[in-house]
Structure 1
């Protein structure tokens, strides 16, 4: 496994009472809760429109869904960024993994937590709505899978690049606006891509509703596209745009991998 280039400071390092849970366990639980919060509010906005209007494919409906997704993601990132990094998205975790900011074992745990959080949110929505099936993500009329795939790559690239520049690489205090910036780019991308393929940009966002509603049409697009886009953005920022050290520190000076990060 490649070493982490810029190890993050952990809350456990500060002097204080012994935490009830190890840092990895708290981070994984945080990802589960944050993803559930995001998917519940994001998918719930579709439920709300469906409950109020028979026709939801309008400009007003698109704007409502975009704002709901933006606010929900901003809140989810804010509530988990200090514990887990605020990924809330398997594609974001993959992009961070490409940039060597997280170990593979920890990334797998994040993926499991994010998918479970999405499924939990979809189940709760189905329960509170009286058994209505989740709407999830779907291709628009006349949109081919290859078009949707490219769209997901481009939109997720923008989302991941924003995540990297604000939440991952926290320079000059820009990390404080990370949740807002990430929410804004998600909402803007939904306004652009929503009518074409639902603008998921997040495999977990698509997976929970697809599983609970048992609708797997074109589902692979919402995995392959975001993973490619996030991986490209993570690699570009980490190895090209981000500040590069002049030379690697000597082996004796490198910080060891935290025990909890495998």
Structure 2
């Protein structure tokens, strides 16, 4: 028997011990960092959980994370239909998520993907000897939050949320009163740390600021957790090489995709 339910965080959190965090960083963040703002649309077959579409409304677009239980058959059109009805999104609304290859093929097979997927690398820090000893960045205080938000938006940080700035340490480099480089975290927890929102102002790029800032953020993250990650578009070769030069290695290749909750044939 097939059924769908909108579950509370207190119920879905039971999945946490069974999540491979390295393979499911985005979904892990929905169960932890984003738990207060996420909704969990779950599919069951014969009372067994088969898949979850988790929804987060704090970004500039409808954001989702998809998780499937290994070795379970998924009734995907029914899950999409229930999600569309539950979240009350127009079926033409363009949503975003990050998918592994198998899940990308699932979304593509039902014609939900819009545009061309972007290859995205998850990288983990492996070699502390490659980090720089740098202290040019300063911790951002509350008085500068508005400036930092404007700076990150101007750098087109699509996945930045204000709650990250309010809850996690962010570092900035200034020239006078203006920020020329900023960086922080998507995730900052003893279980794992994920760097994010690293931006250098266009006219200051090529001066090594991002390298020094990333080193400082990595050092800081290592004080909290031995598992420090970051994500980068695969075609951003200068950034990939920068991170590799600091001791990061690719652990997962994923795809950033736009998709719709359009009606699919059942």
Q: TM-score range by the shorter chain?
A: under 0.3
TM-score by length of 2: 0.24
Comparing both chains, which one has the higher relative contact order based on Cα–Cα distances under 8 Å and sequence gaps of 6 or more? Answer: 1
TM-score by length of 1: 0.24
Q: Which structure dedicates a bigger proportion of its chain to helix?
A: 1
